[in-house]
């Protein structure tokens, strides 16, 4: 089974019951009662309630990062409270009707440890209050060594521009080993450009997709192969009906190794005569990536819009 990776780059593949049992055997009696028996510690007694330090709160059982100090607030309830998760995929929710109440229980996505409950009486911007038991968490202060079980996978990033970013983002996101694909703007001169500014064809930006990937599961060459299947690298000044320099074909390299590999791959394609016309794809060192507006992200997925981009996988 392929590992399940969160968008922030952590392995959240569910652990086997045997592995959870092995990890739970190392817990204190109170940690075991809370995490394995869905217990609740007394209010105002948890050791992390008044913790003001900068850092990350991880699962006491498996070490997965669950909440960040930057999202912590004083709810006055007597339990550590956060208005959002470290990563939504790291915390699962399920209906809890125990004690004659209907509540939403939250658990660690990797090991299933009981954490607490989430309520809809929190502060902006989420309006949520994740009410946690200190016994279900371990705190790692910023600057301190991070144990392997709490560290993200080693990831790499690549940038591709192939016309309208909706379709390119959609299909890169489906690649095996691709952790995230985000639409944005690159290689221009305007700081934090808007879509309207980029569409004016005066900022120099290209609609670009930032691809974060696990190099142990997919190679940069495989990403290059997919990219050249998704668009026409011979079209000058646009892609399909979308014309303007913002729709140009480009590969923005994160390092010298990517630069060499991209240039060599284009030479290989040219020599193979796979395309009847000259490849005009630009290959340049990456400048600042500016994420596009939220409504552009996952656009194909959210709207079901037709996309002319071919699935390269």
Distance CA 45, CA 133 (A): 10
User: Is 199 one of the annotated active-site residues of the chain?
Assistant: no
Q: Which of 62, 108, 131, 199 is catalytic?
A: 131
Beta strand pairing call for 249-253 and 282-285: parallel
SS3 content of the chain, % helix, strand, coil (to 5): 25, 25, 45
Ordered strands of the 249-253 beta sheet: 282-285, 249-253, 156-162, 206-213, 178-186, 290-291
CA angle 194, 200, 202 (to 5 degrees): 95
Distance CA 186, CA 160 (A): 10
The burial class, CB within 10 Å (0-12 / 13-18 / 19+), for 103 is middle
Distance CA 263, CA 225 (A): 13
User: Is 131 one of the annotated active-site residues of the chain?
Assistant: yes
The residues pairing with 284 across neighbouring beta strands, listed in sequence order, are 252
CA 67 to chain centre: 15
With contact defined as beta carbons under 8 Å apart, do 128 and 36 qualify? no
With contact defined as beta carbons under 8 Å apart, do 108 and 115 qualify? yes
Q: Which of 59, 62, 111, 164 is catalytic?
A: 164
Report the catalytic residues: 131, 164
């Amino acid at each position: 089974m392929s590992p399940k990776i969160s968008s922030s780059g952590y392995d959240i593949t569910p652990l086997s019951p045997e592995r959870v049992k092995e990890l739970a055997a190392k817990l204190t009696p109170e940690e075991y009662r809370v995490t394995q028996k869905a217990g609740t510690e007394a209010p105002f007694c948890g050791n992390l309630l008044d913790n003001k330090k900068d850092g990350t709160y991880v699962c006491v059982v498996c070490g997965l990062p669950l909440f960040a100090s930057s999202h912590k607030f004083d709810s006055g309830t007597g339990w550590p409270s956060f208005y959002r998760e470290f990563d939504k995929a790291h915390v699962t929710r399920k209906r809890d009707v125990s004690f004659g109440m209907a509540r939403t229980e939250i658990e660690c996505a990797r090991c299933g440890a009981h954490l607490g409950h989430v309520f809809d009486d929190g502060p902006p911007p989420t309006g949520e209050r994740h009410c946690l038991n200190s016994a279900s968490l371990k705190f790692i202060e910023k600057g301190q060594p991070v144990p392997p079980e709490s560290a993200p996978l080693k990831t790499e990033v690549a940038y591709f521009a192939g016309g309208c970013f909706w379709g390119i983002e959609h299909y890169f996101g489906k690649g095996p080993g691709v952790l995230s694909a985000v639409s944005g703007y690159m290689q221009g001169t305007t700081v934090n450009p808007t879509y309207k500014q980029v569409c004016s064809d005066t900022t120099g930006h290209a609609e670009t997709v930032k691809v974060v990937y696990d190099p142990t599961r997919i190679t940069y060459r495989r990403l290059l192969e997919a990219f050249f299947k998704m668009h026409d690298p011979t079209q000058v000044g646009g892609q399909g009906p979308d014309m303007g320099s913002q729709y140009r074909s480009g590969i923005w390299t994160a390092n010298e190794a990517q630069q060499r590999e991209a240039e060599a791959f284009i030479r290989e394609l040219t020599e193979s005569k796979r395309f009847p016309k000259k490849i005009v794809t630009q290959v340049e060192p990456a400048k600042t990536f500016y994420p596009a507006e939220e409504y552009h992200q996952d656009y194909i997925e959210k709207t079901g819009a037709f996309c002319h981009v071919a699935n390269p996988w």
